[in-house]
Homo-oligomer: A and B are copies of this chain.
Amino acid sequence: MKTVKLVSEVRAEICSMKKRGQRIGFVPTMGYLHEGHLSLVKRSVEECDATVVSIFVNPTQFGPAEDYSRYPRDSARDGELLRSRDTDLLFIPTVEEIYGEGFSTFVEVGGLSEKLEGSIRPGHFRGVCTVVCKLFNIVSPDKAYFGWKDAQQLIIIRKMSEELNIPVEIEGCPIFREADGLAASSRNVYIPREKRRYAVALYMGLSRIRDLLDNHGIRDAARLLKEGRKTVEEYPGVELQYLEIVDPDDLSTVKTIDGKVLVLGAIRISGVRLIDNMFAGDK
């Protein structure tokens, strides 16, 4: 595995890969890797000839009051993990390499970016789309892998790539969960040890909704959400930020369920924000 910091170095490596006729898989990350990330790397290694991973904690997707500066970082450990999973190229740029002085070009997917996470984190998806568009142009992958954990992000990036005609296939990979169901996230490290067992609240709320829908035929979203909320609120110290049932195509609210839906939510526990989601209604 080669590790590079400069855009020009990535381009040179990609150029050699393409000359050898290799199909390139790309996994963009913010580092502090967990099994969720590594499952994306595994898919890429299986499906492509060369796998490129980027680690970049992207400042433009954090709000001014968010955790950009304290976001967990450990690039030495990340590098070892990626090497052991057969990554070919690791790109770890500085902020200056990605955002030059006076940077002012942004990519935005209107509509989808203002809902759910976007309503709580204004500008978040603008930052995500901009950096992902840049990374796609730098790496020019054949396939790029994103986790369903960040469902809204995946849906937005898919729309952006289609609408800007970026020649990449966006692959969504299943959420990796801990034994109790908590979705793997770099931010889980923030959860105080004594609160860890309550962090499963959102997973339990989502599971409750899926069970009522798929196994008990309750199709009224208001009633499902009420039950889901009740489940989340059984866990002490958990604040539910939102819980919604939406159409996975356009994230529009669904009132009566008659097909596949996405149930998503966000909680705060001891100041830590956690998001999770689940498909349901496709039985």
Contact = CB atoms under 8 A, between A and B. Distances in A.
Interface of A: 7, 11, 100, 102-112, 129-130, 133-134, 137-138, 140, 159-160, 162-167, 250
Contact of A109 (B105, B108, B133): B105
A105 B160 contact: yes
B165 A104 contact: no
A217 B229 CA distance: 75
Nearest to A165: B137
A55 to B, nearest CB: 17
A246 to B, nearest CB: 15
A159 B110 contact: no
Given A105-B160, A107-B107, A159-B105, A11 B250 contact: no
Nearest to A160: B105
Contacts of A108: 105-108
Nearest to A112: B104
A11 B165 CA distance: 11
A250 B102 contact: yes
A8 to B, nearest CB: 11
Nearest to A130: B164
B110 A137 contact: no
Nearest to A126: B108
A127 to B, nearest CB: 13
21 contacts: A7-B165, A11-B167, A100-B162, A102-B250, A104-B109, A104-B110, A104-B111, A105-B108, A105-B110, A105-B159, A105-B160, A106-B108, A107-B107, A108-B108, A130-B164, A133-B164, A134-B164, A134-B165, A137-B165, A137-B167, A140-B167
A137 B159 contact: no
A141 to B, nearest CB: 13
A159 B104 CA distance: 9
Contacts of A140: 167
Contacts of A129: 105
B164 A137 contact: yes
Given A102-B250, A250-B102, A107 B164 contact: yes
Contacts of A111: 104
A102 B110 CA distance: 10
Interface centre among A100, A107, A134, A159 (most CB of B within 10 A): A107
A124 B25 CA distance: 36
Contacts of A11: 167
A133 B103 CA distance: 17
B165 A138 contact: yes
Nearest to A10: B165
